Amino acid sequence: MLAFVARRLISIVPVLGIVAVLVFLMLRLTPGDPAAVIAGDNATNEQIDLIRANLGLDQPLVSQFFIWIGKVLQGDFGESYFFKRTVASLILQRVEPTLALSVCTLIIAVSVSVPLGVIAAYKHGGLIDRAVMAFSVAGFSVPVFVVGYLLIYVFAIELDLFPVQGYRRFGDGIGAFFRHITLPSLTLSVVYIALVARITRTSVLEVLNEDYIRTARAKGLTDLVVLMRHALRNAAVPILTVIGIGIAVLIGGAVVTESVYGLPGLGRLTVEAVLSRDFPTIQAVILLFSVIYVVINLLIDIGYTLLDPRIRY
């Protein structure tokens, strides 16, 4: 197992290397010039050229890449073209809202979707099952921003229970924190609930037809015990997989949710950086997301062995 984990951790290196090269090339080959953005709309070509030279963007592409990658290997992600701050400090400042949003969304989504999926499978063909499936279809179909605006209208504007926008850090008070993170988390969890509930239902339904379930029932175990101890555990591997895959959905959804609720997170930082062609920031954020994605996949692989002892690496 330890060897597997070590192998997977080492495999992160070439993955990040490929990501780094691709991101660097894609950004340079995409139209747009950060110097022109910085200079402003009224700037002359001379002003733009001076800024470009100032940023080192007038150097050959290969030189730019090796300067950047050399610094990254030393843990220096460079300085944002716009904020004149290190990219690391910008990311650190933006991590908390995104982390809070993701964790709250995961907690809400998993604690709602897994029971919903299990109940739907248990009541297969019934009203609850149909309702869960209808919710799933709706959850997939309605865009995140529409869900966001609906929740804002009902819970913030009409009922005045939550603020429309903004973020309060955990350190500013737990009450303020939850007041500001609840609606965004609910918004983002809708699509996640739809995804996980559907897979949970399918997996549990498949397991419920297995011989060992019939045996468990024949032994006189209650439905709850059969479902929780025998069915759910055996259905857990695909559920865990989809939770992991859903992290990608979560990252994409966080970009939209952070915009709708005005959360100063990594999603918005990415969008702002892309729109303004802030190359060092985009490169660092994408590398960070890649690391997160690889690590989550590793954790899921480890999780398989805990849920199903037959799986060995």
Partner 1 sequence: MTHQIRKWTMTAAAAATAAMLASAAPVSAQTLKVVKHSDLKIIDPIWTTAYIVRNHGYMIYDTLFSMDEKLEIKPQMVDKWNVSADQLTYTFTLRDGLAWHDGAAVNSEDAISSIKRWGAKDSMGQKLMSFTKELKAVDAKTFQLVLKEPYGLVLMSLGKPSSNVPFIMPKRVADGDPNTQLSDTTGSGPFIFKKDEWKPGEKVVYVKNPNYKPRAEPASGLSGGKVVKLDRVEWLAIADMQTAVNAITNAEIDMIEVPPHDLLPVLAKDKNITLFSSNPLGNQFTFRFNTLSKPFDNPKVRQAVTYAFNQKDFLDAVIGDSKWYKECKAMFVCGTPLASNSGWEDKLNSNYAKAKQLLTEAGYDGTPIVLMHSTDLLVLANLAPVAKAHLEKAGFKVDMQSMDWQTLVARRAKKDAPAAGGWHAFLTSWVSADILNPVMAGFFNSACDKAMFGWPCDEKMESLRDQFSRESDPAKQKAIAEAVQVRASEYPTHIHLGQWYSPIAMRKNIQGMLAGPVPTFWNVTKN
CB 48 within 8 A of CB 39: yes
Rounded distance between C-alpha atoms, residue 101 and residue 120, angstroms: 27
Q: Counting Cβ atoms within 10 Å, is residue 6 exposed (0-12), middle (13-18) or buried (19+)?
A: exposed
The DSSP output letter for 169 is -
Q: Tokens standing for 84? A: 């004149």
What minimum distance in Å lies between the beta carbon of 19 and partner 1?
A: 23
Rounded distance between C-alpha atoms, residue 235 and residue 106, angstroms: 19
* Nearest in space to 267 (alpha carbons), one of 22, 79, 148, 100: 100
What minimum distance in Å lies between the beta carbon of 75 and partner 1?
A: 22
Q: Does 279 bind partner 1 (CB under 8 A)?
A: no
CB 110 within 8 A of CB 100: no
Binding residue for partner 1, selected from 95, 164, 249, 292, defined by CB under 8 A: 164
Q: Does 288 bind partner 1 (CB under 8 A)?
A: no
Q: Does 83 bind partner 1 (CB under 8 A)?
A: yes
What minimum distance in Å lies between the beta carbon of 27 and partner 1?
A: 12
Q: Does 216 bind partner 1 (CB under 8 A)?
A: no
Binding residue for partner 1, selected from 64, 202, 241, 276, defined by CB under 8 A: 276
Binding residue for partner 1, selected from 272, 297, 305, 308, defined by CB under 8 A: 272
Q: Does 86 bind partner 1 (CB under 8 A)?
A: no
Binding residue for partner 1, selected from 1, 42, 73, 220, defined by CB under 8 A: 42
Binding residue for partner 1, selected from 93, 202, 290, 305, defined by CB under 8 A: 93
CB 257 within 8 A of CB 263: yes
Alpha carbon 199 to its chain centroid, in Å, reads: 19
Residue 147 CB contacts under 8 Å (≥ 6 apart), including other chains: 187, 190
Binding residue for partner 1, selected from 261, 279, 282, 285, defined by CB under 8 A: 261
Contacts with partner 1 by CB under 8 A lie at 30-33, 36-45, 47-48, 50-51, 54, 82-85, 90, 93-94, 149, 152-153, 156-157, 160, 163-168, 172-176, 178-179, 259-262, 264, 268-269, 271-272, 275-277
